[in-house]
Structure 1
Amino acid sequence: MTDKTPYETVNLDRVGYGTATFPWSRARDQLAAEPVDVVAVPYFLSTAGPDGAPHTVGIGALWDDGDLYFTSGPGTRKSRHLAANPACTIAVRLPDLDLVLDGEAVRTTEASTLERVAARYRARGWPAEATDDGFTAPFSAPSAGPPPWYLYRFAFRTAVGVGIKEPEGATRWRFER
């Protein structure tokens, strides 16, 4: 998957402040920037259970080739929710933009993807190694459970960015999948 280009960009300035739409590159470039470590940027994943109850949890996500990737233990609530319903949302505070992405997270077991993403995690301080099922490492988040940990590719369809520094405003982008 390569980087996406929005097919629709909408200015969400409904009250007439006179703000302009943001280019997608404002969000994309900040997502692609390499933080010092995997937890330097706080990402939050929201899923829904079978009864519709929401569940939100912090994740260590990384941008790779136009999508976000994250890990989860097989027995975690988020993994169980995603197995039943891959629709989810990821929210993140970037340096000058609050961003919410809506899409689907699907487990990936493709060897080349596991190897590539494991190398990216290692470069950011988490010593992940690819296996047939996902990743192993000497440690992970305390709530992750024992290895292996699954790798999920989050493919988004829409994104909303709210400027928290100049230029301010709000923009929605829609992407074809």
Structure 2
Amino acid sequence: MSAPPAPGFRLYLLRHAKAGWALPGQKDFDRTLGDAGLVEAEIVAEMAADRGFAPELILTSTAVRCLQTAEAFRRAMGENLDIRDIDALYEGAADSYREIITGQGSLASLMVVGHNPAIEEILREILGERVAAETIPYGYPPGALAVIDFHDRPQAGILPPARLVAWLDPECHDG
């Protein structure tokens, strides 16, 4: 039996893990992961590594909680994992996320670590409402990772329909 064909492009959508409450006078941007979030980030990173899910590049919001979530993947997948932070992923809407995703050239795979509601909106756009509602009936949980394969490469701000390959939720530990 032959292996299934490689996807045209694989996208990993990761919402940052659970953040702690802001300290008095602290900006939202500077919020760190809470204790539960630190554990969640490690769990989902290990789940992904165990399944061989490894992006070529991670693009992350510059918010501290996203940077911490992305670093868990570096620990699980190796120091050579390319992680780049992008300011537009902090306050950007789904349109910004879409432009960033489609602007990455010839990569075979990309992980985006970001925030709701943009992460959820992109997932719903790519998978369609029915599949998205089955996958995230209560919204996109913190620390969860969607692994999505595209037959056709996204381009010029357009994310074509795609297929959910895996859903890794650190709360479930069973992906």
For this structure pair, what is the TM-score category when the shorter chain's length is used for normalisation? under 0.3
Q: Which has the higher strand share?
A: 1
- Larger relative contact order (Cα-Cα within 8 Å, sequence gap ≥ 6): 2
TM-score if structure 2 supplies the norm length? 0.27
Q: Which has the higher helix share?
A: 2
